[in-house]
């Protein structure tokens, strides 16, 4: 009885998965952005798949501060297997942050992908003064602490260590 129930459940799950799989197989347009993290002024490659040949997609960078048009991409291919690969330069003045790359066709087909944009690299920036060169050096911050804080911390260290050793040796 229990086995029959499990078999029925398995069939139900399998049949439910069929239309879902079919929908995924025909698919909605999909884009992928490489790299997923890029510096402002840097280059990104957008690859589109599952698209109708001949369709023209408008590519836009969408962030909290507004949208930045990047350009257009025309789908090439045969039958239902269309796609595109386009390269864009992210405007150097783009504010670092999380963005969505949106590809929208005239018929309403829209697809998006995530893109993280960091500060511009020196080579990419037209204004070297504002540019930032990748560096493994430490950030210079004043880490000095008031004497009172250092004394208080030293007391906490001494008390913690002493109490710890008392407990360990008890």
Please give the residue ranges that form the binding site for another protein (CB under 8 A).
32-33, 35-39, 42, 95-98, 100, 112-121, 132-139, 141-143, 145, 149-150, 153-154, 156-158, 160-161, 163-170
Give CA–CA dist 83/49, Å, rounded.
4
Nearer to another protein, 32 or 76 (CB): 32
Residues in the chain: 170
The number of beta carbons lying within 10 Å of the beta carbon of residue 158 is: 10
Give CA–CA dist 27/52, Å, rounded.
11
Closest approach, Cβ 102 to another protein, in A, equals: 10
Angstrom CA distances, 114 to 50, 86, 90, 120, stand at: 18, 16, 14, 18
Closest approach, Cβ 168 to another protein, in A, equals: 4
Nearer to another protein, 6 or 23 (CB): 23
Closest approach, Cβ 125 to another protein, in A, equals: 11
Give CA–CA dist 76/52, Å, rounded.
8
Nearer to another protein, 1 or 25 (CB): 25
Nearer to another protein, 68 or 76 (CB): 68
The number of beta carbons lying within 10 Å of the beta carbon of residue 24 is: 11
Closest approach, Cβ 103 to another protein, in A, equals: 13
């Amino acid at each position: 009885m229990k086995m029959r129930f499990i078999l029925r459940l398995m069939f139900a799950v399998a049949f439910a998965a069929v239309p879902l799989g079919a929908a995924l197989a025909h698919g909605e347009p999909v884009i992928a952005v490489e790299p997923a993290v890029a510096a402002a002024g840097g280059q990104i490659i957008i690859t589109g798949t599952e698209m109708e040949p001949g369709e023209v997609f408008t590519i836009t960078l969408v962030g909290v501060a507004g949208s930045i048009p990047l350009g257009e991409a025309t789908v090439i291919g045969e039958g239902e297997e269309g796609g595109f690969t386009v390269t864009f330069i992210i405007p150097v003045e783009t504010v670092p942050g999380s963005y969505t790359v949106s590809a929208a066709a005239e018929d309403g087909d829209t697809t998006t992908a995530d893109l993280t944009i960091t500060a511009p690299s020196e080579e990419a920036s037209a204004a070297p003064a504002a540019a930032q060169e990748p560096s493994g050096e430490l950030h210079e911050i004043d880490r000095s602490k008031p004497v009172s804080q250092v004394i208080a911390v030293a007391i906490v260290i001494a008390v913690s260590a002493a109490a710890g050793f008392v407990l360990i040796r008890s």
